[in-house]
Amino acid sequence: MENNITITLSETELKILDAAKKVFVEKGFDGASMQDIANEAGINKALLYYYFRKKEFLFKAIFKQALHSFIPNLLQVIQSNETVRVKLKMFVDNYIDMLLLNPHLPVFILHELSRRPENLVSAIKELGVNPTLVLQNMEKGVVEAGGTAYPAKHLLVNMLAMCIFPIAAKPILTMLLFSGNDEEYQEFVSERKQLVYEFLLKALNL
Amino acid sequence: MENNITITLSETELKILDAAKKVFVEKGFDGASMQDIANEAGINKALLYYYFRKKEFLFKAIFKQALHSFIPNLLQVIQSNETVRVKLKMFVDNYIDMLLLNPHLPVFILHELSRRPENLVSAIKELGVNPTLVLQNMEKGVVEAGGTAYPAKHLLVNMLAMCIFPIAAKPILTMLLFSGNDEEYQEFVSERKQLVYEFLLKALNL
DNA sequence: GTCTATATCCAGATAGAC
DNA sequence: GTCTATCTGGATATAGAC
């Protein structure tokens, strides 16, 4: 199973990966052209093919990275020795902060997975994440802290939803709730770090 | 502002719109080809241009429709004479049911809006939805029913998030939580109609 | 209104010079 | 390794016959 090797990437290869990440995440696989990526990287288009041979291969390299950020390292937070409250706060804070830095990430991942779910099977395996344990810990942790039992899968989805959706739906929310004012939107999302946390506490009776 | 007219659409035009909806919503603007749409409609490609002149025009017709479904008619539910609890239940039930029938809708809307937010301004105006009143009503309704005050905009986003996200993230959730078993995923989403409702009640102390 | 044929363009991909 | 030049296919879009 461990057929990975570590290689040192050249300067150019790094430039390409950076550029490809930016372009793919913003435009999606179908909307991005190899010319776009070459321009962004400041190199010749043929070089892309020299290093990656096909658009698809370059894309897969990017997609894997992106998926790793998107599926947060729940294990680390949930399996830590903190109280449930602290864990929840840490998770929401860190995840929303990460998403604010990568605002296009959610829509990119959701769109590409919806177009080509096949990619997922292999990618998930490489992640090595098994959520079952995490879920059991969550549910037990809540009850032991005196909270109300709530199905762990639904709780996890609720948490992710409340963090991810406002980032994914930025354009429509900015328009609908803030008349297009971007600063108000940013402020709103920052507020959510505290408000989502409180919402979860109340819902779980913690 | 009212420069709309009502026209009767021909059989062929309806076939085209149906096909275009299916193809665009599944593949996105960049991923869909006019040939795809012609095939789906069972007609000649040139006919598409006869009726809509440009891919973009055909797309806009579809997008407008889709946006209307995606921004639910909150007004109707919220402004009704029911109790807050009933309103919440009705909203979650109806919205999740609609999304289950249109599983690609969320990602389609989010992706296209993220690619071309310009389209939004005009589309929103045509919707004629002003959420401010709705929001005030929600907040007041909760407090008057004996619940805990919670910022209405955040409440609205939480509700939408918990309904929309599990549909948008179907592939990854099916894989991560149900080892790829589709029926279990479907079952899970149906359960949410009740569980999201209860989650909201508890969080609002209702 | 509906079709066939075709023009035009652009994107992915390769060949080969340096 | 990096570039220029080029091939090839497929996509948008139009012309014109029926």
State pLDDT tens for residues B50-77: 999 999 999 999 999 999 999 987 778 8
- Is A102's Cβ below 8 Å from some Cβ in B? no
Q: Which residues of A touch B165 (CB under 8 A)?
A: 157, 160-161, 164-165
Q: What is the pTM of this model?
A: 0.96
Phi first, then psi: what are they for A129, rounded to 5°? Answer: -95, 125
Q: Given a cut of 80, is residue A172 above it in pLDDT?
A: yes
The pLDDT of residue B44: 97
Q: Are residues A97 and A185 in the same domain?
A: yes
Q: Given a cut of 70, is residue A187 above it in pLDDT?
A: yes
Assigned domain for A2 exists? no
Quick one: A44 exposed, middle or buried, by C-beta within 10 A (0-12, 13-18, 19+)? exposed
Q: Give one DSSP letter per residue of A31-67, joined into a string.
A: H--HHHHHHHHTS-HHHHHHHHSSHHHHHHHHHHHHH
Residue of B169, B200, B205 with shortest CB distance to A110: B169
The CATH number for B100's domain is 1.10.357
The pLDDT of residue B3: 67
Residue of A114, A169, A188 with shortest CB distance to B153: A188
The pLDDT of residue B38: 98
Contact A33, A82 (CB under 8 A): no
Of the pLDDT bands very low, low, confident and very high (cuts 50, 70, 90), residue A37 is very high
Assigned domain for B2 exists? no
Q: Are residues A43 and A76 in the same domain?
A: no
Q: Are residues B53 and B78 in the same domain?
A: no
Domain count, chain A: 2
Helices (H), B42-181: 45-52, 55-70, 74-78, 84-101, 105-115, 118-127, 131-144, 152-168, 170-178
Q: Given a cut of 60, is residue A1 above it in pLDDT?
A: no
Q: Given a cut of 60, is residue A74 above it in pLDDT?
A: yes
Q: Which residues of A touch B27 (CB under 8 A)?
A: 30, 115
Assigned domain for B51 exists? yes
Q: Which residues of B touch A203 (CB under 8 A)?
A: 199-200, 202-203
Q: Are residues B109 and B78 in the same domain?
A: yes
Assigned domain for B96 exists? yes
- Is A176's Cβ below 8 Å from some Cβ in B? yes
Whole-number distance in Å between B46 CA and C17 C1': 44
Q: Are residues A135 and A162 in the same domain?
A: yes
The pLDDT of residue A57: 98
Q: Are residues B193 and B92 in the same domain?
A: yes
User: Which of the listed residues A42, A62, A82 is the one where a domain comes to its end?
Assistant: A62
Q: Given a cut of 60, is residue A105 above it in pLDDT?
A: yes
The pLDDT of residue B13: 97
Smallest CA–CA separation between B39 and chain A, in Å?
19
Q: Are residues A105 and A24 in the same domain?
A: no
Q: Given a cut of 70, is residue A66 above it in pLDDT?
A: yes
Q: How far is CA B185 from CA A138, B28, B169, B175, B178, in A?
A: 20, 24, 11, 9, 7
- Is A107's Cβ below 8 Å from some Cβ in B? yes
Q: Which residues contact A112 (CB under 8 A, 6 or more apart)?
A: A28, A29, A63, A119
Which tops the pLDDT comparison, A46 or A73? A46
Of the pLDDT bands very low, low, confident and very high (cuts 50, 70, 90), residue A2 is low
Q: Are residues B160 and B196 in the same domain?
A: yes
Q: Are residues A185 and A147 in the same domain?
A: yes
Q: What percent of chain A is predicted at pLDDT more than 90?
A: 80
Give the mean pLDDT of A8-27: 96
Q: Given a cut of 70, is residue A3 above it in pLDDT?
A: no
Domain that holds residue A30: 11-62
- Is A75's Cβ below 8 Å from some Cβ in B? no
The pLDDT of residue A132: 84
Q: Given a cut of 90, is residue A200 above it in pLDDT?
A: yes
Assigned domain for A3 exists? no
The pLDDT of residue B75: 76
A44 touches strand C (CB under 7 A): no
Task: State which residue of chain B sits closest to A158, comparing Cα positions.
Answer: B162
Assigned domain for B151 exists? yes
Return the number of CB contacts < 8 Å for A and B.
Answer: 151
Q: Given a cut of 60, is residue B1 above it in pLDDT?
A: no
Question: Any idea which residue has 């990440």 for tokens?
Answer: A21
Interface test with B, best of A63, A74, A199, A204 (most B CBs within 10 A): A199
Q: Are residues B39 and B57 in the same domain?
A: yes
Q: Which residues of A touch B196 (CB under 8 A)?
A: 154, 158
pLDDT in tens, B84-110: 999 999 999 999 999 999 999 999 999
Q: Are residues A145 and A163 in the same domain?
A: yes
Q: How far is CA A38 from CA A54, A57, A58, B30, in A?
A: 13, 15, 12, 20
The CATH number for B46's domain is 1.10.10.60
**Mean pLDDT value across chain B:** 93
Structure token pair of residue A40: 């962004």
